[in-house]
Amino acid sequence: MSLFDHKISDIHELLHKKEISVSDLVDQSFKRINEVDGKVKAFLTLDEENARNKAKELDGQVGENALFGIPAGIKDNIVTKGLRTTCASKMLENFDPIYNATVMDKLDNANTVTVGKLNMDEFAMGSTTENSAFQITRNPWNLDAVPGGSSGGSAAAVAAGILPFALGTDTGGSIRQPAAFCGVVGLKPTYGRVSRYGVVAFASSLDQVGPITRTVEDNALVLQTIAGLDPNDSTTVNQEVPNFVDGLTGDIKGLKIAVPKEYLGEGVSEASRQSVLDALKVLEGLGATWEEVSLPHSKYAVASYYLLSSSEASANLARFDGVRYGYSTPNPKNLMDLYLKSRSEGFGEEVKLRIILGTYALSSGFYDAYYKKAQQVRTLIRQDFEDIFAKYDVIIGPTTPTSAYKIGEVVHDPVTMYARDLLTIPVNLAGLPGISVPCGFTEGLPLGLQIIGKHFDEQMVYRVAHAYEQATDYNTKKPQL
Helix axes of 301-316 and 373-389: crossing angle, nearest 10 degrees: 120
Q: Is 2 a catalytic residue?
A: no
Catalytic residue, chosen from 174, 195, 275, 314, is 174
Alpha-carbon distance values, 141 to 18, 34, 144, 176, 244 (Å): 34, 18, 9, 17, 30
Strands laid side by side in the 113-118 sheet: 43-46, 113-118, 71-75, 165-170, 208-213, 185-188, 434-442, 445-452, 394-398, 256-260, 289-293
Q: Is 256 a catalytic residue?
A: no
Query: Is the torsion defined by CA of 200, 345, 116, 143 positive or negative?
Result: positive
Which residues, in sequence order, are CB contacts of 76 under 8 Å at separation 6+?
44, 45, 85, 86, 87, 88, 117, 118, 119, 120, 153
**Which letter, b or e, does each residue of 374-390 get, where b requires 16 or more Cβ atoms within 10 Å of its Cβ?**
beebbeebbebbeebbe
Burial degree of 234 (CB within 10 A; 0-12, 13-18, 19+): exposed
Query: Is the torsion defined by CA of 425, 371, 152, 97 positive or negative?
Result: negative
> Cα–Cα distance between 256 and 465 in angstroms, integer?
14
> Cα–Cα distance between 115 and 30 in angstroms, integer?
8
Distance of alpha carbon 266 from the chain centroid: 25
Alpha-carbon distance values, 305 to 222, 248, 301, 385, 390 (Å): 28, 33, 6, 16, 25
Q: How many CA atoms lie within 13 A of 196 on its CB side?
A: 21
Which helix (H) or strand (E) covers residue 70, if one does? none
> Cα–Cα distance between 149 and 157 in angstroms, integer?
13
Q: Is 174 a catalytic residue?
A: yes
Q: What is the DSSP letter of 298?
A: G
Catalytic residue, chosen from 7, 41, 54, 75, is 75
Catalytic residue, chosen from 23, 29, 127, 150, is 150
Active-site amino acid positions = 75, 150, 174
